[in-house]
Amino acid sequence: MSTLKFDKLEGLGNDFVLIDCRDGTQAPDEFQAARIADRHSGIGCDQVLAILSPREQGHCAYSIRNADGSCAVQCGNGARCIGWWLHLRGETAGPAVLESPGGLVTVTVEGPELVRASLQEPTFPKPVKDGQWPAQVKVDGRSVQFYPVDTGNPHAVVVRESGEPGHRLESLGPAMEASALFPDGVNVGLVEILDHETVKLQVHERGSGITRACGSGACAAACALIRAGLATSPVSVLQAGGSLVIEWKGEGFPIQMTGPARWVFKGEIECQNVTQ
């Protein structure tokens, strides 16, 4: 049994438990992270973020575990929350470079509880099945068109058809995630285009389910639509927890994501060394 000190933060309702492991504290393993993330018997969160000592040029590094304990490679809202947490602790006076599992992220505090994150350039993989972009996948007995985008995490962006029920993601997300087309799983974003600079988005995150907001998913949706000529940068992405502004100038440029980050509370938790 070990005692872990933690901070709880949230960005657009996408909530995180941050554990500072730079003092030698061991980062939670798969099973401990799942216990911590449980909203009934733990603290409750979408992801557990372990703050680590930098490996190279960053201010700090961090690891990401989903609510089921599985590892993630990128978390845009989480990066902004780390940026706000560092700012509140007085550790940064300007932009901070974070070493995420998916590469370097630069975070800048733009104002009270407002943080901008600069993420690496997106990529647009073509599925092995047909090599087309956008691509097609058959789920729930029908063919679904989607835009594959990698923003550190793999995303499948589906444009919501006019009159289509909003609850469709409840079945579409798990079905696409389980498809053989995505052997490592996928985050599924269902996007509704309101105009060329405004969209609505729901995301089913692999390992966490439908969340109130997803930073990397917002980036994926905006970049996919910009690349397809369906949106113009900057794009306001409206989610259940609030809105993010995504800027992407195109090939060769990083993604800029700006939105709120808020510290909620801190505490301690007794964490058992469990193996199942």
Active site amino acids: 75, 214
Instruction: Give the number of other CB atoms < 10 A from CB of residue 189.
Output: 31
Give the pairing type, strands 255-260 and 242-247.
antiparallel
**Distances in Å between the alpha carbon of 7 and those of 75, 107, 138, 150, 153?**
17, 19, 42, 29, 24
Distances 135 to 98, 130, 166 between C-alpha atoms, Å: 33, 7, 22
Do residues 222 and 213 lie in contact, with contact meaning Cβ atoms separated by under 8 Å? no
In sequence order, which ranges of 196-267 are alpha helices (DSSP H)? 215-227
Contact partners, residue 47, CB within 8 Å, separation at least 6 = 16, 17, 37, 64, 65, 66, 67, 72, 75, 78, 208
Q: Is 51 helix (H, G, I), strand (E, B) or coil?
A: strand
In single-letter form, the type of residue at position 4 comes to: L
